[in-house]
Structures are given as C-alpha cells and as structure tokens.
Structure 1
C-alpha cells in the first residue's frame, strides 16, 4: 500500500453529483450515502462508496470526517455584479430607474483600484461563505476594476470568469466607455484570460448602452478570441425591450441585435431571457448560447417570470444566477427557493434534483466548462461544498423527517442559506469554514 502524501486528501460524507440533467434522465443523480471523495493535487481522483474506495487510500491517510453531512460540487453562479455589492437591497420602481438612481453612481467609485480590491475581497468571501466556487462576474467600465477582481480571485486560487463592462451611450458621462477599438479589453484578455484559474468574459452591458459601432467591435473581438466568454443582458424587462426596439429598428428582436453582431455562440451567457419568443429560444439552442436565470432579481425588480417549460422544449442551456445587487442574496440555495416559486407561477415544476443540477453540472455545461468543474468525475478540479442538513433547528427537524433524496434536497433549497454551508473547498483547499 502506498504511503500517505501531503498532496492527497480524502473526505467521508454522503456524496451527490450529476452525470446528466435529471429533468430528462432518471439516472442523472449519483448518490453515495456513505461516500468517499479522494483529491490529489487539487483535482478529483475518485468519488464513490466508502467501502469500495477506503482500501485504495495510502497508508496513514485518515479521511476528513463529514459523516452526517452532504458533499456536492461547488455552486456555480452565472450572473452577478461585484461592484453592486454595496447597493444590494436598494429600492426602486423598476430596472431603468434602479440603474439611474443606484447602479451608475455606485459604479463610479471603481475608478479607484483600492475601492475595487476591498469590495472584491468582501464579495469573494461572501460567495465562498454561500458555497459558490465559480461565478461569471461583471466589473465596471474601469480596467482597474477588472484587475482588482482578478487579483483578489487569484489570491484565493478560484475559478472565476469576469470582464470589463462596455458602455458608450445612454449612460452618465462619468461611465461612458471611450476605449474606441476596445484596446483596453484586449489588453485585459491578454493579461488575465487563462492566467491560473482566471477566464475572461467580453462584457457589453446591454444593447441600449452600446452604439452599433461598439457592438460591431465587440463581435470582432469575440471572433479574434474564440475561447473567451461573452456575457450580457437580454429581454429582462418589457420597458427595456421596447427601448431596444426603438434603438435597433432593423432587428427582429432584442436577441437578434446580439446575433447580428456575432455575439451568440458557445460560452455566451445571456442574463434573464424572460421575454424571448419561440424563435429566440430556438436560436439560443442552435448557437449553444446559454441563459442565466435570475429569479431573485426578477422578482425584486418586477421584471417577469422565466418560463422553464418553454425553454426546455426549445432545448436551451440553462443555469442560475443570483444577479447581486438586484438579486437580494449571494446564496444559490435561496436562489433555488425563488426559482421553484417562479416555475410554479408559470405552471411548471422544478424538482430539487433539477435545481441542484442547474447550480452545478448544468451551469458548467452552460459555460462550456463541464470538463473542468461541476461534478466529481476523475480529473476535474476539486471545488466542492459541505452542506449541513442540521444547520438550523427547523432544517434539522425537517430533514430528520425526509424519506428520500428529493425531500432532503428540497428542504435544503427551500430552507437553506449561508448557514447551511459548513465548509467550502476550492481546488482541494479549505477556503471557508463555518
């Protein structure tokens, strides 16, 4: 038997991950009631039944004992704004006045690198406290806001995607992005994309705040760097959709604006997608573009209810986003809670299994990262979360009466929050412990 190595760790608990979408595959979930997760050099070596894997452990290696708890892959949040951390829970009658009153004045502060770094530190710690190990993050128009974010992420060795917002009209002068040929964005791509675990997202804020010239250059930049990500907003609010129709009368739809500039492709993540028609949804599926569904912020701003059933019929790639700061929680468990209710209001039903899939492997697939994160397949990066089913007295009482995996997960999703996260690991290293 080999000797224990400091580069190998093992964790004993119930293990859950997915190999497919449980909405379409009854055998999608892989559960090991008494499981063992083995990690070597920051990557998954094996995951399975304790009895089968324990004899393979190096001599002298004692597993970290999390029995009674549930280990799942790290949560993946596909849409949120780190500069909006300090304006979370700000009152406004709708999306557009909320942007004018709170968002734009707050983002002005990020001219200062130090403001960006202190906010990024808090933001990332909050994500880890909630079990989120990967996120797609909007910075501001200031390149220093991107540098501050990725420096903070690199210090924690996190798998993060982020980008500089592009915005050259219909915004305050102090946030108007005048980088012309997008040289600042290209420099940021060269500086950060694939440096360590950082990945870059080309980030037009949304169609109304970009001129046609900027959108054309954005498409050209995306074509020049095809392995980067694209992130933006689409069809969040009816007033916004009307505005886009006035600004781009030649476009068939809001989504068609992005399509016409080459911004629909794998690794393109579109926030919200509430008011897409059937043709739009078919186009999303055909191009491999993905939707970041943001139920908490959609309810907060009164934007509308995402239609999971229509999206599934179209074959769209789906994921969940907290959309902080319009979203009112960093917790993807609380986001699952709202997603479930939104689905019910639209006449469909989200199982807890599906919600956990959307926050893990589903999100990784939507981002084109399923070969990197999102499950416990051997060789993937070891990002995982330890969930405490007894985190609160009410949760302990309810889960004590759970008779199936679905009931357990449903209780965690509907009653859970940051207190449910006992520990968070990134690349095999403990980065948060309650």
Structure 2
C-alpha cells in the first residue's frame, strides 16, 4: 500500500523561500509542520500539520515529533579519490598535493578498492544529510564507473566526472596522467549513461590550470560545446603560491581566470572552487558569465589558504555554493562546515544570520548548480530531498535549545552545535536513503 500512497512527514520544517542576501523574510520555520509528498517522491504541499492533514485524510504518516526537517545539503565540491586522505599533513596546497594527496589517489587503480570506496563515500555523504554532491572523480575509468553505479544504487543526486591531468611534473605519479583522447572516450561513455538517469549528471573536470595541456583544455571545451547538459568544474585562486605558479606558466594571461577563458571554459555551466584571492576584474567577468563559485570553509582553514571574500562575490551577483572539499576539508558534513563559514566571515566583519547559512547549503547551492527547479527547498513540485535532524539524540542540545527564545535562535544553535550524529534519516525523491536507528 505504501508505494501507491502519498506520505506526510511531521516535524519542525525549516527552509528558504528566497535569497536572504536579496530579500527579507526569506526564512520560513514551521513548528508542528508537515511535508506532503506524492508516491513519486515529489512535494505536493507543506505547512502546519493540522492544515495538511485536513487535506489528506488517507496517507502514510511518518511522525518525527520535534525533530527538524531540513532540505538536503548540496555539497558543491568534494573529492571521491581523497576519501581516505583527510587530515593529512603536508603544508599548504601545492606541497600537500604532492606529499599526501596524489599518492592516495593512485590507490584507485585497484578496481576492488575503488568499488568498495565508492559505496562507502556515497553512504557517508548520505549519512550527513547530503542529497546532492558535485564530485571530482578518479583518474581511472573503472573507479568512476563504480562511483556512478554507487550513486544510482544508493540514491544520491550526483554531478561528477574524471579528474583530468596530462601534464607531467615532479611529484605527479605517471599513473594519474591520461591522454586527451582516452579522457574524451571515458567521458562520452558516462555522459551517455547520465542521459537515462535523472539523478546523474556529468561534470567535465580539468583538475586545475597547471595540470592540463592545451590539447586537454581544448578537449574539455569540445565536450562542453557538444554536450550542453554537462557541467564544468575546476579550481581557481585557492592559494597565493598556486596563483603565482599559474601566472608564471601562462605569462600571457593577466589573471588566473583568463587561463580558463581562453579555452572557452567559463560559462553559466561552470563551477569554480575556492576563488579566495580574486581580482575585481575576475569577479566582474565571473558575474557577467553567470559562472558559479563554491566556497569550501573547512578546507580553506585546514590548508591556511585564506579567508573567502563573500561580500565581494555577493556584490557582483555571483551564485555561491558550499563544499566540504574532502580531503582538505576534515568533515564530510556540509552542515558542520556552516559553522566554519560563519567564523570566516566574522573575521572579515560580516555577521551571517541563520537564514544566510542555511541558504548557502540548500537553495543557494541549488541555484549555483542550476538545480533550483528540482531541489533546495520545500516548494510544490520539487523533489522531496531532505534530512531529519533529531536534536534529542544529544541531552546537551535538548537543554540548550530549550533555553532559546525563538525558533530562529534554535536554528542558529543547531547550525553550530549539531553534527552528523544527529542525522536520523535522509531522503532523496521521497526515498529514505539513510536511516540511523534509535
């Protein structure tokens, strides 16, 4: 019976109706709320539980009591082949890559290891309330096939592609280098698979400017042109030494962004990770191209890369997602990264409210990834992507929230104090894809 009936989920609902950086009263919190979902996993309606239940006298009821129902986290930047490379010493970005990260990525040459890790990776994201992830894949085709298979089996919305590298350099294992011809063939195969899978999307993924030859960059442009449904993701302006190295190599370019522009890779389907040290000119051109930026708070702090200039990006009308950036990030929970995002802006004189933080991880991320018509909040017709945050699993959280004088104050506390340990269930398209038994 359950598969042919709609379902009503009961709890405290919290989501963003609009962009709080542009609109007041964008945050909506409904105590004793209800989310009504049809048998296909799409949202029919939401509101006060008394109002919703009056409309649907016959429905399957999932009562989460006082727990919070929150739109699924949208992780805009995470590395699958760095799953076991978190909290690795190695200095700042470029040294850390050579010493700790690239060696770890070679392990994915083993198909059995890659297959097992793909499943663990997706399960871990789902256990943190993440329902959509934009992922840097492996350099090995079989490992990326394992990733897409795990995503399809376990139910996450995935945007991913092979991490592309073909430029030899000191410290880069030869096993991680591909030819543009082979990279294109592997990409075409996964792009074809995605056409028949509504939750799977392909992202063309040149690692960063120094890792790819002109031929590889032009191959990326060709894929993006021939397959307009795909995304392009890469890194930019993460570390000052990285920027100096890029500009020394591409000495005809006035800034980092121009390296990607010269190959036609900066479009409204492009997501650039980090952008901690942009020039005003770069921000102007990113805004004009309607390109998106992904801010990775935990990663930026761990590597000492710098403080993300959120206000400058907002001024230029740039869509911003948040990312865990595993393995420089040390938490798989995007929710936990929100506290770091708050602190980074505090250090720059910008105090974010709970609606700003929740927006960046949900509806803001959806807009950055062109998924705002599918997910990001509880609007009618969207996919029922959400997680259940049960604060009663922590005696301290229960007592702390009892002392708050508003639901907004409770949400602010949850954003800083709750963790993946309080995630009771995660849903994608109304399907429960993670459950932590009481």
TM-score band, normalised by the shorter chain? over 0.9
Report the CA distance between 1:267 and its aligned residue. 2.5
User: Which residue does the alignment assign to 2:409?
Assistant: 407
Aligned Cα root-mean-square deviation (Å): 1.5
Tell me by how many angstroms 1:313 deviates.
1.0
3-state SS of paired residue (1:66) = strand
Q: Pick from 100, 105, 124: which aligns with 2:103?
A: 105
Distance between the aligned counterparts of 2:427 and 2:69, measured in 1? 10
- Residues of 2 paired with 1:429 and 1:103: CA distance? 35
Partner of 2:176: 175
Aligned residues: 431
Q: Secondary structure at the match of 2:220?
A: helix
Q: Which runs of 5+ in 2 are unaligned?
A: none
SS at 2:89 equivalent? coil
8 Å Cα contact 2:5-2:60 kept in structure 1: no
Counterpart-to-counterpart distance in 2, 1:295 and 1:86: 19
- For residue 352 of structure 2, the aligned residue among 347, 350, 353 is 350
Is the 1:38–1:45 contact (alpha carbons within 8 Å) kept by the matching residues of 2?
A: yes
What residue is the counterpart of 2:233 in the other structure? 231
Aligned partner of residue 200 in structure 1, secondary structure: strand
- For residue 193 of structure 1, report the CA deviation from its aligned partner: 4.5
In structure 2, the residue matched to 1:51 is 50
Distance 2:428 2:138 in 1: 26
Q: Quote the Cα distance in structure 2 between the aligned partners of 1:124 and 1:79.
A: 14
Could you say which residue in structure 1 is the equivalent of 2:308? 306
SS at 1:246's partner residue? helix
Gaps of 5+ in 1: none
Deviations 1:277-314 (A, max 9, x none): 11111211111111110010111011111011111111
Partner Cα separation in structure 1 for residue 124 and residue 402 of structure 2: 28
Name the structure 2 match of 1:287. 289
The DSSP-based 3-state class of the residue aligned with 1:346 is coil
Matched position secondary structure for 1:256: helix
* Deviation digits for residues 14-61 of structure 1 (CA, Å, limit 9, x no counterpart): 1122121112211212222121111111111111121221121143x3
Offset of residue 167 of structure 1: 0.7
What TM-score, normalized to structure 1?
0.96
Q: Take 1:241 and 1:162, find their aligned partners in 2: how far apart are those partners?
A: 25
- Name the SS of the counterpart of 1:343 in structure 2: helix
1:139–1:164 Cα contact (<8 Å) kept: yes
Question: Moved runs in structure 1, 4+ residues, more than 6 A?
Answer: none
Q: Aligned to 1:322, what secondary structure does the other structure show?
A: coil
**CA separation of 1:231/1:7 partners in 2, compared to 1, >3 Å: closer, same or farther?**
farther
Q: Find the counterpart in structure 2 of residue 218 from structure 1.
A: 220
Q: How much does 1:405 deviate?
A: 3.0
Q: Deviations over 1:298-349 (max 9, x none)?
A: 1101111101111111111111100001100001121001101111112212
Distance in 2, Cα, partners of 1:304 & 1:29 = 30
Matches of 2:423 and 2:61 in 1, distance apart?
Answer: 19
